């Protein structure tokens, strides 16, 4: 088991935790600490202050001259100082002995800064809190968490509730198992091995795309053999909609984690057809690990 954890640690060296200081964000930080203690990964706590309007040459380090009467700059500097204090309080909330945790506060659009940090720091995992949303707000706006799920170049783990001792014993891997998911599967296997968990491959059989259970089970078994999976089960679950089926199956087996690959549809196609992975992030209380396939 120690050899497996060591091997997984080699693929998880940097964890990014964007925070807005909400309860869900604190929960995400606590989960990130648990993962970092298993893998030896370093954590970056990131808070992004979104400016009210564009301020040329503004710097989060305070390099901009503020003696020119620009009250917005003065306000932003005061806000940044207060934010740094909140970051330190968050850092002190949970013991982090043995884990390298750094803080960063910057001024930008949150999604831009998060994506840039993932690229610049070669982040291996993002852990984010998710409040969830519903109705018109969800359809028209979406959250920063959903935007990261849709576009990040690394796996994204979304967390709602608190897990003082984050453990994963039962994992749901939901997919149509039709697309090439090799890169996602490598990441998913590493996460499974990290916790020594059992992986439940599930295909949601819906009335609109019904297939025989025998054919589907063979397809899932072929996938398991192709990717060298171990400690897994094969499942075909009937439900009206894919999202509902995944949620119901996960609840039936008392899953600790749901894993999905997402194609990150954007624009009109996203609005019309939606994304099952993003819907799950919104609607389930179970942590969700997603990986964006290009």
Question: Angle, nearest 10°, between helix axes 182-195 and 2-9?
Answer: 140
Instruction: Go through the domains of the chain in sequence order and give each one's CATH number.
Output: 2-159 (3.40.50.620), 170-292 (3.40.50.620)
Q: Distance between CA 275 and CA 6 in Å, rounded?
A: 34
Closest CA to 42 of 14, 63, 68, 64: 14
Q: Distance between CA 53 and CA 80 in Å, rounded?
A: 16
pLDDT of the chain, 294 residues: tens digit per residue? 455 444 454 578 999 999 988 899 999 999 999 999 999 999 999 998 877 654 544 555 555 444 444 776 777 777 777 888 888 888 888 888 899 999 998 888 889 999 999 999 999 999 999 876 544 333 333 477 878 888 888 999 999 999 998 999 999 999 877 666 777 898 999 999 999 999 999 999 988 888 899 999 999 999 999 999 999 999 999 999 888 999 999 999 999 999 988 765 544 333 333 477 777 887 889 999 998 876
**Torsion from C-alpha of 150, 140, 286, 109, nearest 10 degrees:** 50
Closest CA to 108 of 55, 169, 180: 55
Q: Could you count the other beta carbons within 10 Å of the beta carbon of residue 26? A: 19
Q: Is the dihedral angle over the CA atoms 85, 90, 96, 99 positive or is it negative?
A: negative
How high is the pLDDT of residue 180?
Answer: 60
Q: Among the residues of 107-173, which ranges form H helices?
A: 110-120, 135-140, 144-151
**Torsion from C-alpha of 90, 93, 98, 102, nearest 10 degrees:** 10
Q: Is the dihedral angle over the CA atoms 76, 143, 119, 269 positive or is it negative?
A: negative
Closest CA to 185 of 210, 215, 222: 222
Q: CA-CA distances (angstroms) from residue 139 to 199, 273, 279?
A: 32, 11, 10
Q: Distance between CA 161 and CA 141 in Å, rounded?
A: 23
Residue whose pair of structure tokens reads 């968990």 in the numeric block: 197
How high is the pLDDT of residue 144?
Answer: 77
Q: Distance between CA 109 and CA 53 in Å, rounded?
A: 11
Closest CA to 123 of 64, 51, 207, 43: 43
| DSSP single-letter state for residue 196 | T
How high is the pLDDT of residue 268?
Answer: 39
| pTM, 2 dp | 0.84
Residue whose pair of structure tokens reads 């503020």 in the numeric block: 66
Closest CA to 101 of 36, 175, 168: 36
How would you classify the pairing of strands 170-174 and 156-159?
unpaired
How high is the pLDDT of residue 274?
Answer: 45
Q: What are residue 101's phi and psi, to 5 degrees?
A: -120, 125
Give the pair of three-digit tokens for residue 266. 């954007």
Residue 201, classed as helix, strand or coil, is strand
Q: Is the dihedral angle over the CA atoms 145, 151, 152, 155 positive or is it negative?
A: positive
């Amino acid at each position: 088991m120690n050899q497996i954890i060591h091997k997984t640690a080699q693929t998880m060296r940097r964890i990014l935790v964007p925070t807005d200081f909400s309860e869900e964000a604190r929960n995400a930080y606590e989960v990130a600490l648990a993962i970092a203690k298993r893998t030896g990964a370093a954590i970056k706590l990131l808070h992004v202050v979104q400016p009210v309007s564009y301020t040329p040459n503004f710097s989060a380090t305070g390099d901009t001259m503020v003696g020119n009467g620009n009250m917005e700059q003065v306000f932003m500097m005061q806000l940044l100082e207060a934010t740094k204090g909140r970051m330190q309080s968050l850092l002190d909330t949970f013991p982090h002995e043995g884990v390298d945790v750094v803080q960063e506060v910057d001024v930008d659009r949150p999604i831009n800064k998060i994506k840039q940090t993932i690229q610049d720091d070669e982040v291996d995992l993002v852990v984010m809190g998710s409040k969830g949303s519903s109705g018109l707000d969800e359809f028209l706006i979406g959250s920063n968490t959903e935007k990261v799920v849709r576009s990040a170049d690394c796996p994204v783990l979304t967390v709602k509730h608190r897990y003082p001792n984050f453990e994963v014993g039962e994992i749901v891997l939901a997919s149509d198992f039709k697309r090439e998911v090799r890169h996602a599967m490598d990441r998913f296997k590493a996460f499974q091995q990290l916790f020594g968990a059992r992986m439940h491959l599930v295909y949601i059989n819906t009335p609109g795309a019904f297939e025989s259970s025998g054919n589907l089970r063979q397809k899932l078994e072929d996938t398991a053999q192709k990717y060298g999976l171990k400690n897994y089960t094969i499942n075909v679950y009937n439900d009206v909609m894919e999202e509902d089926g995944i949620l119901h199956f996960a609840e039936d087996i008392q899953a600790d984690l749901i894993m999905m690959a997402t194609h990150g549809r954007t624009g009109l196609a996203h609005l019309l057809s939606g994304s099952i992975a993003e819907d799950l992030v919104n609607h389930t209380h179970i942590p969700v690990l997603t990986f964006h396939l290009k």
